[in-house]
Chain A
């Protein structure tokens, strides 16, 4: 019973707001602590690839960004589903706080993929299965955010976009599979994705460090955004007014 009360305590926006405030610096510092060695490994420790030369160093941000774009969508849909089923405000706020960062990482995966593709494939854009799925993922993020923004009433906005996120999650594997099929059928017109260089241990470490840095960054930024969201939605609540009076 005591555990249950504790859980509900931290799932209320009022208690989560200061807690999130305390957590943000830790995650920000952690992000920095992973970035610095991550950059060191990606530029100074990892050897140049014998085929791709130095250009393959883009991989150290391209692959983590692509991972993040997919993970964030899953986590976002998880929060959205939780908000829908448990009817908890905080979960749906977390879902909408994650969406812009997820969309940004999707964009970065496309951007870096394009910059990596130009020297390797000779074209800025190739209809490769992975790039195409990433593009569709960006569309899904945009749909989620525009539905959320188009509905004025916050409760309905949260619930409607949660349904959309869940429908998207069911569809993502189907979309990925069909794009892959489509890509192999039309192989004549496109070049298959280079498998990426065989990984030396230092390359793997660099990629993992950058992925961890992105994770920590995402958590810190999502917490920042959820704090803004809480303030905006609860601005008429007593505790916000009290906190404001306390601050002045």
Chain B
């Protein structure tokens, strides 16, 4: 079986690859979105913790 025959899927290429492609896309996008959500969350929390710790420091100094 050569490659173009494999991709043609006996004339059903559009349907088969449409299914598998969209499935793969959905799974990858979900993981990517979650990774981004985590990253921004950690950044925000990190900023928050730095802000509060400098506030505490200022309070101690003054």
Contact = CB atoms under 8 A, between A and B. Distances in A.
A and B touch in the complex (CB under 8 A): yes
A231 interface: yes
Contacts of A61: 19-20, 23
Interface residues of B, number: 29
Interface string B23-46: 100110011001101100110011
A29 interface: no
Contact of B34 (A65, A108, A224, A245): A224
Identify whether the interface residues of A are mostly helix, strand, loop, or mixed: helix
Nearest to B40: A228
Nearest to B27: A217
A104 interface: yes
Interface of A: 43, 48, 53-55, 57-58, 61-62, 65, 100-101, 104, 107-108, 111-112, 115-116, 118-119, 217, 221, 224-225, 227-228, 231-232, 235, 240-241, 244-245, 247-248
Interface of B: 6, 9-12, 15-16, 18-20, 22-23, 26-27, 30-31, 34-35, 37-38, 41-42, 45-46, 48-50, 52-53
20 contacts: A48-B10, A53-B11, A53-B12, A55-B15, A58-B19, A61-B20, A101-B30, A107-B26, A108-B22, A111-B23, A115-B18, A116-B19, A225-B34, A227-B38, A228-B37, A231-B42, A231-B45, A240-B45, A241-B52, A245-B53
